[in-house]
């Protein structure tokens, strides 16, 4: 899965995407669905369709969107300070994205659209297990050995 985005203000989840694919996702609970209500599986979000809403796993709630061969994963976490801030947020919630066969502009646009959906629900308590997003640092590059 490719994740795109650049700049300090853009939040992109890279390392957590694989964990969501290793096994089937648990369906979202009532508390998780309430946070993204009225969004539901099968509903449109802009020009994409909601394919899945996952339960909180590894600190994030995932909404999977698809259009033709393109897919966008929107991950909701608690907003963190400074450079870990996401491109889109609603109250204490931050939205990050990862992409497959979709342009970066779609990820940015859809993250903002999901933030608008969450905004009326922003006073709800966080679903159990939701945490701030802490980006994984890539391992340092080792110089080639001769």
Report pLDDT digits (tens) over 119-140. 999 999 999 999 998 655 455 5
Domain presence at residue 8:
no
Q: Is there a domain that residue 141 lies in?
A: no
Split at pLDDT 50, 70, 90, the class of 9 is very low
Question: Does 5 fall in a domain?
Answer: no
Residue 109 within any structural domain of the chain? yes
> What pLDDT sits at residue 116?
97
| Assigned domain for 66 exists | yes
Q: Quick: pLDDT tens for 22-57.
A: 567 788 889 999 999 999 999 999 999 999 999 999
Q: Is residue 52 part of a domain?
A: yes
Give the CATH number of the domain where residue 72 resides: 3.30.310
pLDDT for res 4 = 35
* Domain count within the chain: 1
Inside any domain, residue 129: no
Task: Please give the residue range of the domain that contains residue 84.
Answer: 17-121
Looking up tokens 């502009």, which residue turns up?
A: 105
- Burial label for 83, CB within 10 Å (0-12, 13-18, 19+), is exposed
The dihedral built from the CA positions of residue 24, 54, 128 and 130, taken in this order, carries a sign that is positive
Is residue 43 domain-resident?
Answer: yes
Q: Does residue 13 have a pLDDT over 50? A: no
94-118 pLDDT per residue, tens: 999 999 999 999 999 999 999 999 9
- pTM for the whole thing? 0.76
Rama region for 98: left / alpha / beta (φ>0; ψ in -120 to 50; rest): beta
């Amino acid at each position: 899965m490719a994740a795109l985005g650049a700049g300090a203000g853009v939040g992109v989840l890279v390392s957590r995407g694989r964990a969501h694919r290793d096994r089937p996702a648990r369906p979202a609970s009532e508390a998780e669905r309430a946070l993204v209500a009225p969004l539901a599986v099968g509903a449109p979000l802009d020009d994409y369709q909601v394919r899945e809403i996952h339960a909180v796993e590894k600190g994030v709630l995932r909404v999977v969107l698809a259009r033709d061969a393109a897919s966008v994963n929107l991950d909701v976490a608690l907003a963190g300070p400074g450079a870990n801030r996401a491109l889109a947020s609603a109250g204490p919630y931050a939205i990050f994205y990862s992409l497959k066969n979709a342009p970066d502009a779609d990820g940015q646009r859809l993250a903002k659209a999901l933030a608008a959906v969450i905004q009326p629900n922003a006073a709800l308590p966080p679903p159990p297990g939701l945490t701030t997003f802490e980006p994984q640092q890539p391992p340092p590059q080792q110089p080639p050995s001769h």
